[in-house]
Amino acid sequence: MNRVIVVASKNPKKLRELNEVLAACGVACESLDAYPDMPEAEETCDTFVGNARQKATYYARATGQWALADDSGLVVDALDGAPGVYSARYAAERCGDDAPRETQDAANNAKLLDELDGVPDEKRTARFVCQLALSDGETILAEARGEMEGRISATPAGAGGFGYDPLFFLPEHGCSSAEISADEKHAISHRGKALRKFAAMLVGILEDHS
């Protein structure tokens, strides 16, 4: 029987990325949509590592299943690391938490461009960070981190991906991360890198708990 892992997200695009990698490990991934009445985990830490651990532990205890959580975000050098752990709600003052994800993404992107107004291209360096944590409710069973380097464009481009992808320019590709295919993105993305590290560890963890 497959091990059930609760993925601490309701984002369908993020879940699809996770499932495409973890399916080969023989696990059954379950989203938080299966637990509609469960309160969301708090994110009170100021680091990606702390938030990923906090969410994984909370959802594992709440569901009785192993839980995989990620804390991902955009780190912009010219903004002293912002939006960082606040990436998903960077423009919270511009739109409510109950706004559609697409609306929140647009507001976040607009605020980022406002904050970088006047910053020259060579100083708009940035990276996406993904920190993963797997918990059984008592112990952090595995952790993995991935990063993708780039810079912030002055105008959005591309309809793929989500979040800040239309503004995240990839110098080696000559386009934004919203303009490359899903396969290309998996190969170089912060989440893809973290997931491959995590998947390699997960095989051994599953054997130890079989």
Q: What topology does CATH give the domain 3-208? A: Maf protein (3.90.950)
pTM above the 0.75 mark? yes
Buried b (16+ CB within 10 A) or exposed e, 179-198: bbeeebbbebbbbbbbbebb
Closest by alpha carbon to 2, among 66, 56, 45, 58? Answer: 66
pLDDT of residue 15: 79
71 is known as an active-site residue: yes
Q: Quote the longest CA-to-CA distance of the chain.
A: 56
pLDDT of residue 49: 97
Which residues have a Cβ under 8 Å from the Cβ of 157 and sit 6 or more positions away? 166, 175, 176, 178, 179
Determine which one of 37, 70, 71, 183 is catalytic.
Answer: 71
Instruction: Decide if 20 contacts 7 (C-beta within 8 A).
Output: no
What is the pLDDT tens value at each position of the chain, 210 positions in all?
A: 478 899 998 877 777 777 777 778 888 788 899 899 999 998 899 999 999 999 999 999 999 999 999 999 999 999 999 999 999 899 999 987 788 888 999 999 999 999 999 999 999 999 999 999 999 999 999 999 999 999 999 999 998 888 999 999 999 999 999 999 988 888 899 988 999 999 999 989 988 887
Residue with tokens 């969301």: 40
CA atoms within 13 A on the CB side of 164: 35
pLDDT of residue 1: 47
Sequence-separated contacts (24+) of 138-144 with Cβ below 8 Å:
140/53, 140/56, 140/57, 141/66, 141/205, 142/198, 142/201, 142/202, 142/205, 143/49, 143/52, 143/53, 144/194, 144/195, 144/197, 144/198, 144/201
pLDDT of residue 183: 83
Instruction: Decide if 167 contacts 109 (C-beta within 8 A).
Output: yes
| Residue 70 dihedral angles phi and psi, to the nearest 5° | -125, 150
pLDDT of residue 2: 73
Which residues have a Cβ under 8 Å from the Cβ of 186 and sit 6 or more positions away? 17, 20, 21, 192
Between CA 55 and CA 52 the distance in angstroms is 5
Cross-strand partners of 125? 151
pLDDT of residue 10: 82
